[in-house]
Amino acid sequence: MTYKNIKGITLTEILIALLILATAFIPIIGVMSGSIKGTQKDETVLKAVQLSQQALSTALQLPFNDLVANKGAGGGPWTFGTADSTFDYATGSLNLRLGKVTVGNIDHTLTLTIDDVPFVFTLDTHDPMARNTAPADPSSWGWQETSVPRTDTQAGLYHRYTLTNTWTEKGLTDGNQRIYRLISYKARLHEL
């Protein structure tokens, strides 16, 4: 038996095949690492959004003037929480934490600003006796065509809540902070 008849793979062929495979996998690994970084960035933004929504939802559940009364009198705007301090406010089962809040390894600064939004409205008048004057025309029963404008501006009945979440993502070289802002409104619908 001679060695010329035996077929096989040499070590050189195996090394060339491994080099080709390694070269093919380098771009795939690069794409995977880029998508992992993108997923981590999306996760950071999602956590910031959830943190902001939770804080604003808690603030809106508090009675209308609780936070404003806590901050003091005046016409506003009232600001709660800064990067230098933490504002904790608890009542019943609600706990509102503003200022510096750490989630994972990222520091968020939650700031809530409440503005008193004065407004003027018109008051439509109703004539309960209108049915007697035009019994065949139901469209004329009740509300008058003219409305009476209120001449005074109403204040202390309508607030704008602006929650700002500011954070710096890990690894940013530009030093820019990321900002997420939520705005909601709350009205006092009844007299206390």
- How confident is the model over 32-86, as pLDDT tens digits? 777 766 666 778 888 999 999 999 999 999 888 888 887 766 667 888 888 888 8
Q: Are residues 61 and 137 in the same domain?
A: no
Residue 49 shares a structural domain with residue 110: yes
pLDDT of residue 192: 44
- Looking at the structure, tell me whether residues 90 and 168 fall in a common domain: yes
Residue 168: the pLDDT is 85
Q: Within this chain, do residues 104 and 126 fall inside the same structural domain, yes or no?
A: no
Intervals of the chain under pLDDT 50: 192
User: Is 143 found in the same domain as 170?
Assistant: no
Output phi, psi for 152, to 5 deg. -95, 145
Structural domain of residue 110, as residue ranges? 43-119+154-187
Query: Which 3-state string (H, E, C) describes 43-84?
Result: HHHHHHHHHHHHHHHHHHHCCCCHHHHHHCCCCCCEEECCCC
Tell me the backbone φ, ψ of residue 97, rounded to 5 degrees.
-120, 120
SS3 171: coil
Number of domains in the chain: 2
Q: Please give the structure tokens belonging to residue 174.
A: 């530009």
Same domain, 103 and 167: yes
CA dihedral 35, 41, 47, 50 (to 10 degrees): -90
